[in-house]
Structure 1
Amino acid sequence: MKQLILPTLTGITGAHEVTAGLRRQLVDCWIGVTNAGGAAGFPFPPVLESDVGPAVDDILGRLAPARCRLVTASFGEELAGWVVLQRDPFRLVAHWGTVHHLQTRPEVRGRGVGSALMRELRTVARDELGLEQLRLAARGGEGLEHFYGRLGWREAGRWPDALRFAPGDTRDEVLMLLDPL
């Protein structure tokens, strides 16, 4: 039986922790995931550096220890995937966190990278941010409900036909919940 080698996971709480090389790998990962058909925030491939770079910079600009975290997964010096966790700033719902942009490089799919990122994110949310619940929205028709379901998430609802990719290609947005952490 082949032994699964898990990636090294790193939590990042501020843009100052992101080197130019890591920023480049974040952008390249997002381009690769999107252009391979992944549901990672850009629904209309192909995308280029000029599309993705500003979005990465926006995420990095929002990083803050108590409010927004980036978790990366790497094999050696090579970025394998990443995910963002954001705490809601409003006191009424400050016990919630929202997961954004989970993605793994297409060439490392099936090696446990996405699952490892989501498990680490859960730990960060609970132990470091004191969150009680996590939520995310996933693109229907991609099998993502099953992936998240294996990690303890449950479907909380759907926005029917919320996402229109082309005439005749309209999908639900699936609302997922992880509770308790």
Structure 2
Amino acid sequence: MTLTFEVDPAVDRTLRDGMLSLWADVSNAGGAVGFVPPVTPDEIRPALLKHLVAMTEGGTRLLVGRDEDGEVAATAFFTFNTHPLMTHWVWLYTVMVHPRHQGKGYGADLMAAAERTARTAPGFEAIEAIRLTCRGGTGVDGFYAKAGYKEVGRVPDAIRVAPGDDRDDIIMLLPLN
């Protein structure tokens, strides 16, 4: 089985609730997506709403992956740069695969779909690279490296997970040309 990916799906209550559940489940399983467990969907809601508002304003695009049951199983948000000297690359945020689907290759499928979107989807014509950041100490930088991303910077101890537990903020880039 594989995931079915869609760019810019219509956001309704089912999709919104599915993304909230996904984000909470990933966070509570130890995923480095902006929260530290335990966290509830209600605590995540303001962060999701920021993404959704940015989508309505045209600065953010959503890639969603659904499993064979049609459930939200993966997401990635693209955010376009507004700085006139940086419009040739896009940020990739909130990259997640549901814990029940991890280990099946769906993460690689999500990253391939994100790359394909940046290369071919309408509105991405000027994009030459995808940039993302990830939390050090999780091993996820190795996952992104397997997807073709290169580490291009690191801010030591920029992410405070808990008192005495500071992690590097790792900056990674995937050139598209």
TM-score w.r.t. structure 1 length? Answer: 0.89
Alpha-carbon deviation of 1:49? 2.4
Distance 2:62 2:24 in 1: 18
Alpha-carbon deviation of 1:45? 1.7
* Matched AA of 1:75: D
- Deviation sequence 1:27-84 (CA, Å, 0-9, x none): 0000101111110111x22111221122212211111596321111111311111110
* Matched AA of 2:7: G
* Matched AA of 1:136: L
Is the aligned partner of 1:121 residue 2:114? yes
Q: Which runs of 5+ in 1 are unaligned?
A: none
* Partner of residue 133 from structure 2, selected from 133, 137, 150: 137
Is the aligned partner of 1:31 residue 2:24? yes
Distance 2:58 2:47 in 1: 21
* Matched AA of 1:109: Q
Is the aligned partner of 1:22 residue 2:18? no
Aligned alpha-carbon RMSD (Å): 1.6
What is the match of residue 41 of structure 2?
49
* Partner of residue 74 from structure 1, selected from 57, 66, 91: 66
Is the aligned partner of 1:163 residue 2:159? yes
What is the match of residue 76 of structure 2?
83
* Partner of residue 97 from structure 1, selected from 83, 90, 93: 90
* Matched AA of 2:63: V
Shift of the 110–65 alpha-carbon distance from structure 1 to 2, 3 Å rule, reads farther
Distance 2:98 2:25 in 1: 7
* Partner of residue 61 from structure 1, selected from 43, 53, 60: 53
Q: Which runs of 5+ in 2 are unaligned?
A: none
Q: Between 74-83 and 95-104, report the one with greater CA deviation.
A: 74-83
Is the aligned partner of 1:110 residue 2:106? no
* Matched AA of 1:50: D
**Residue identity (%):** 35
* Matched AA of 2:160: R
